[in-house]
Amino acid sequence: MTTGHSKQVNLAHELIHCESNSNGTNNPNKTLNLIDPDTGSWEDLTFEAVRTRERENLIRNEQGDKDRALSMGDK
């Protein structure tokens, strides 16, 4: 699990979801079976969750925060 991020990162993460919802690109049925870095277990993560974490890291870099661990693997 990645910890120690700023409040700006929390807000940006949620705004990324808002943007996807507004654009109609958040499809909860489109999933990837990956290792969730927050739990360490194989899970069906939505494409939206994976994409949001990738975009969140851009904000983390801008804010000087540690990158959030990204999902990995392919069962």
What does the alpha-carbon distance between residue 67 and residue 53 come to, in Å, rounded to a whole number?
9
Amino acid making up residue 27: N
Q: Is the dihedral of CA 44, 67, 6, 54 positive or negative?
A: negative
Amino acid making up residue 40: G
- CA geometry: angle at 18 spanning 68 and 59, to 5°? 30
pLDDT score, position 1? 44
Map out the domains of the chain as residue ranges. Answer: 7-63
Beta bridge partners of 34: 43
Per-residue pLDDT of the chain (75 residues; tens, 9 = 90+): 455 678 889 999 999 999 999 999 998 888 888 888 888 899 888 999 999 999 999 999 998 888 888 877 654
Question: Could you tell me which residues come within 8 angstroms of residue 41 by beta carbon, excluding any fewer than 6 positions away?
Answer: 35
